[in-house]
Amino acid sequence: MSFVLTEEEQMLRDSAKDFLAAKSPVSELRRLRDEGCKDGFRHAVWRGMAEMGWNGIVVEEDFGGVDMGFTAAGVLLREMGRTLAATPFIPSAILSATLLRLAGSDAQKGEHLPKIAGGEAVYAFAFDEKARHDPGTIDTRATKDGNGFRLNGSKRFVACGNGADMLIVAARLEDDSLGFFLVDPKADGVTKTMRRTVDSHVPADIDFKDVKLDGDAMLSGGADGQATFDHVLDVGRACLAAEQLGTAEEAFDRTLSYLKDRSQFGQPIGSFQSLQHRAAHMLGEIELAHSLVMKALRTLDENPSQAPLWIAAAKAKATEVSRHVTGEAIQMHGGIGMTDEHEIGFFFKRARAAGEFMGDERFNAERVATTTGF
């Protein structure tokens, strides 16, 4: 296992930097927000990402993907974290794609994965039912109804839930095992409530009331539902940790520039030793998070059974570090950092929200304890 990016991954990173700088800089997130965009992302950007091949980064080539693995996906997400790109990448290209890949029948994969990889449709994965991430609580029920099912339950804060063309819903079957159902958000009985969150993302609370589903709505190619669910969430956490790392790194870089440029009392504020030490400490924390993110992603690619511990550690540390660094960024920017006009506040907001999604620092620290055995 190497901590160094392959040449291919480095090229991917460089092209991601170029694309995102041009198509999805931080100012783009501000525009989406100020326009009151209800999807929470720009379709043109999403199509552009598909053309770059990104949306099929973890999809097999047979289904239109490039199948470069999770480390490569993390390379993209780290850059997206740097520009705060608001896209359906994690909900659609990571969570839904991985879920379909693991649990879809050949027919389902053949139908849906090319749509994801090609950027034709946006998929969202609906799993949380409470305000705090709690994968143990799934009370949404799919009951047999003729050859199909009836779906009842409520999902909360479904990422990209408002802009998605298709939902995949985690629900309990009659034997209490977990199943995953493809649900058209326009179907009868589906009610979406748009939510705007502090990071200018647009998730949705979604209620399912006696929603009638065909028999082939259930993903039917996979094995144990719980194991699949756990793994898909872990994949999502590892990828999100990469995004959080990028957010922390960019906020840190911008703060460093500010420390060098801004003068007070006749000298650059970066010459004050207390700020220097806090900056150097942050450097160390970011390096620690970086190592865990790389380790988690590579392990996911090369030795997935060993990945849960590293993923939990990576998500916990990336959450802690990105919140700490963006908070210090605000403080070190002083008054200007508190204004909406300045971009640094967007980083602070996103770090908070990304930290909450799929388990915060405490949730994942608890998993580290349990996985380690204490």
Partner 1 sequence: MSNLESFRKETRDWLEANCPASMRQPMKDEKDVCWGGKKFEFANDDQKLWLDRMAEKGWTAPQWPVEYGGGGLSSDEAQILKEEMKAINARDPLTSFGIWMLGPALLKYGSEEQKKHYLPQITRGEIRWCQGYSEPGAGSDLASLRTKGVDKGDYYEVTGQKVWTSYADKADWIFALVRTEPDKPKHEGISFLLIDMESDGVTTKPIKLISGKSPFCETFFDEVKVPKANLIGTAGKGWDIAKYLLSHERTNIVGAGGMAAGLNPVGAAHKSGEVDDKGRIADPMLRADVARLTIDALAFEATMRRVKDESDAGQGVGARASMLKYIGTELNKRRHELNLSAMGADGLLWEGPDPSDGGPARDWLRSRANSIEGGTSEIQLNILAKRVLNLPGA
Stretch 307-336 residues interacting with a second copy (CB under 8 A): none
Angstrom distance (rounded) from CA 304 to CA 264: 51
Residue linked to tokens 């143990």: 136
Residues 217-276 that bind a second copy (CB under 8 A): 272-274, 276
Q: Name the DSSP letter for residue 182.
A: E
- In sequence order, the 6+-apart residues with CB closer than 8 A to the CB of 117 are 50, 55, 56, 59, 63, 64, 65, 93, 97
- Please, which residue, 17 or 281, has the CB nearer to a second copy? 281
Total residues contacting partner 1 by CB under 8 A comes to 83
Residues 68-87 that bind partner 1 (CB under 8 A): none
From the list 298, 280, 354, the residue with the least C-alpha distance to 322 is: 354
Residue linked to tokens 């199509």: 47
Angstrom distance (rounded) from CA 163 to CA 374: 42
| 148 lies in the site for partner 1, by CB under 8 A | no
- Please, which residue, 147 or 274, has the CB nearer to a second copy? 274
Q: Given the rule CB under 8 A, which of 60-68, 72-80, 180-188, 360-368 is the region that contacts partner 1?
A: 360-368
CB of 70 to partner 1, least distance (A): 16
Residues 5-64 that bind a second copy (CB under 8 A): none
| 147 lies in the site for a second copy, by CB under 8 A | no
Q: Given the rule CB under 8 A, which of 114-122, 167-175, 176-184, 285-293 is the region that contacts partner 1?
A: 285-293
Q: In terms of C-beta density within 10 A (0-12 exposed, 13-18 middle, 19 or more buried), how is residue 97 classed?
A: buried
Which of partner 1, a second copy, none is residue 223 near (CB under 5 to 8 Å by kind)?
Answer: none
| 3 lies in the site for partner 1, by CB under 8 A | yes
- In sequence order, the 6+-apart residues with CB closer than 8 A to the CB of 176 are none
| 305 lies in the site for partner 1, by CB under 8 A | no
Angstrom distance (rounded) from CA 85 to CA 40: 10
Contact code string over 266-285 relative to a second copy, x by CB under 8 A: ------xxx-xx--------
| 177 lies in the site for partner 1, by CB under 8 A | no
Angstrom distance (rounded) from CA 248 to CA 79: 11
- Please, which residue, 149 or 157, has the CB nearer to partner 1? 157
Residues lying near a second copy in the complex (CB under 8 A)? 272-274, 276-277
